[in-house]
Every structure is written in structure tokens, then in C-alpha cells.
Amino acid sequence: MDYRIEHDSMGEVKVPADRYWGAQTQRSFENFKIGTEKIPMEIIRAFAVLKKAAAMANNRLGKLDDRRNAIICQVCDEILDGKLDGHFPLAVWQTGSGTQSNMNVNEVIANRGNELAGEKLLHPNDHVNMSQSSNDTFPTAMHIAAAVEIEDKLFPSISLLEGTLGRLMEENEGIIKTGRTHLQDATPITFSQEISGWKNMLEKAKTMLSLSLPGLHELALGGTAVGTGLNAPKGFDAEVAKAVSELTGKDFKTAPNKFHSLTSKDELVFAHGALKGLAADMMKMANDIRWLASGPRCGLGEIFIPENEPGSSIMPGKVNPTQCESVTMVAVQVIANDVAVGFAASQGNFELNVFMPVCIHNFLQSVRLLSDSLVSFNNHCVAGIRPNREKMAENLHRSLMLVTCLNPYIGYENAAKTAKKAYAENISLKEACVALGFLTPERFDEVFKPEQMV
């Protein structure tokens, strides 16, 4: 491999000749060969947005000349287009402030920009990092990435599944089935009512996530090293937030208290709590669906779901609810990630949180997994759900909890006696009720109407 010599304040470093990164990136790459988890590309793209916005703001404030501004913006666009993905190699398990990832982006922009300029025009610290510190850029990248991924990736996935459930509600209107509580028979419910509960889970989750967005739209940029704004021109924080909003089309604002925005990650904790809520709902929904589809002959069997692949390497003809299993595994991971996000947010000393890479790694993984799994679950399972009307009707009329509709006529205790007799003797509720002398056959038929119990 060919190398070139780069230098930083600590001296010279050999860097692969075909990479745009510089000395600080290389030092981190060599010092933290831990795991396979790399800084998420969502963070790199967020850095490209904020570096472009910072150049624009510095230019508007008279700090950066037009040519350097234009070249920085051009390279940032290349990063956003994915053209430089191979130049961001650093591990999540690095410095807790993300300093080397900030420098990785600075160095790539400077070296690629100098290549485009045909001269050494850009310095990674003096120009690309102008008016900034790693301590305010990394928190800013975290908020940009979190907000963008929730709004642009997760919300459409939620809406897709929500729409499918809405369609299923309409298609299954009027189908009455037995309800279940504690895995035991309960009073009747319509299938569309059951589906409406799942749909409302998604609506509530989206509402809770929306409530977290104003906090994520606050940017630390302008606080520089410790929140005082040292070496940033007056008005830079508001100007750069305005530029980020222009570039993303979202309503980002400068954080009103930079001391808070550098040291606290409570907005991410709040938002991830909503992600955990969505994960819990998806666990519940997927479990409901695989219970209802269990069988095909020895389970509940009240719905049919798509058969996507063979389910066993030894049992011929077996098909499993694999999409439900995938969703529930994602839910387990997201719920676990919430612990990491919360614990990371509780750490760090004085003016800076120093658990930021692990915090955002887990946060973005949760958004990514939920977004992808909702689409997969929708397309390969939920969209193909069909009711087994015969099985639903059979289970409904065998349910002893239909006796509840007799309470107004024979009382709770007599209704309980009726249900217990029917169960013990394996006879119908009507036969038990008449045998006990609580109602005549004709009166039983008048008041016993399961379809009116929903």
C-alpha cells in the first residue's frame, strides 16, 4: 500500500495515499481497533450538513471568503451524495466527545477541497472547523441525524403500516370474534375493533415522537468548547442554525442554553423513550398476530398470514410466523438500546458529556431497525392478513364468556353457575341455563345475542 505523510500538532503520521483523511483520523484508527461498529453514516451526513452550514454562516458573517466557502460546500455535497463513504473509518469506541470523528470530517473536506482547488487552500482546523469545536459539533450532528431519521425514515414507515391496518379495519368490519384477556376467553369483539387497537398504537407512537422533535431541533453549534462561544463571531449560532434549516428543510434553532446542550443529552433520552414505546407496541402487535395465526390445526387459527419460506429443515410443510419473530427481536434490541442511551446520557463530568458516540450509535440503530422492520412487517405479513371466518365463528359460539350477557337477567352468581355447569358437562350455555331453571329456552333465545355484545 502506498502512503503519504500527514502531520498534526503531535507530529507526522503515515496515511494511506488513496484516502482523504489526515493525521488525527489515522491516529484514532490505529488507537481504537475495537469491535466492528463504526460511526454511523447518518452522523457523517449530519456533519456534512453542519460543516456546509458553518461555512455558509461564516461567509455571511465575513469570516470566510467566497472561494473557500464554495469548495467546502462542494465537498459536503459529495459526502451527502455518498461519494466519499469510504473515507470515514472510525470506531464508535473512541473518545467520548467524538473529537476524532469531527476531525475526520474536517480532514476529508480539507484534503478533497484542496484537490478540487489544485492548491493547499483549506486547513481542517482554521477553515473547515472555523467557529466550531468538537464539543458543539458532535452534539449538533447527533440532533440533526436523530431528527432527520425520525422524520424522513421512521414516520413514513409508521404511516405505511398505519394505512394497511386502516384498510384491514374496513375490510373486516362486522366480523365478530371472541375477545381474550389473560390468554383466557373473554366477551366478544369485532375483528376491526381488535385491529383498531393496533392502529392506535402507531398513532400514539407517532404523536409521542412528534413531541420529542422540538428538543431535537435545538442545536449546540455556537457553544464551541464549553458553551461560552469562545472564538465564534457574534450571531454565528443563530446564523448557522438558520443555514441548517435551509439545507434540511426542517425547523432547527440554536439552543437557548449552550451549557445545557453540551453537557446534557436529555432530549435524546426523551425521544428514545418514545422509540422504546413504539418497540413495546410492536412486540405486542406481532405477538397478537402470531397467536391469532397459530396452528394451522392445533392453535387458535383465527387468521391467515402469508407463508413466506419453509419453517423447518426436518418437518416438511411447516411454516412459521417469521416476520413476527423478526419484529419482536428488533423490539428486544430497541428496548435494550434504551438502557444504553439513558446510561450514556447520565455520564460525563462538568461541561461535557463524553459518552456521545455510544449514545447516538444506539439511538440511530433503534430508528434504523424500527423503520426497516415496520416496512418488512407491513409488506410481508400484515398486508396479507386474512380472517378465518369459520374458526372465528366456531370459537365465538363455544366461548363460555358469552354468559356475561345473561347477567342482567339471571344475575352474576347464577351466570357463573351456568358457565361452570356448561364447562364441567361439556354442554352449551343454553342447555346449562335451562337445566338450572334460570330461563326458559324461549327466553334464553330472546336475550342471548352475541352479536349485540360488541
Catalytic residues: 182, 312
* Torsion, CA 23, CA 27, CA 30, CA 34, rounded to 10: -130
188 within 8 A of 450, measured Cβ to Cβ: yes
Q: Name the pairing type of β-strands 184-190 and 218-219.
A: unpaired
End-to-end CA distance of the chain: 73
Name the amino acid, one letter, at 192.
S
49 within 8 A of 243, measured Cβ to Cβ: no
Q: Give ∠ CA 389-393-397 in degrees, rounded to 5.
A: 175
Residue reference for cell 410443510 = 317
- Cell triple for residue 84? 466519499
The residue among 192, 98, 80, 166 whose CA lies nearest residue 136 is: 98
- Cell triple for residue 155? 414516520
Q: Name the pairing type of β-strands 218-219 and 253-254.
A: parallel
Cα of 441 vs its chain's centroid, Å: 56
242 within 8 A of 236, measured Cβ to Cβ: no
Residue reference for cell 453537557 = 263
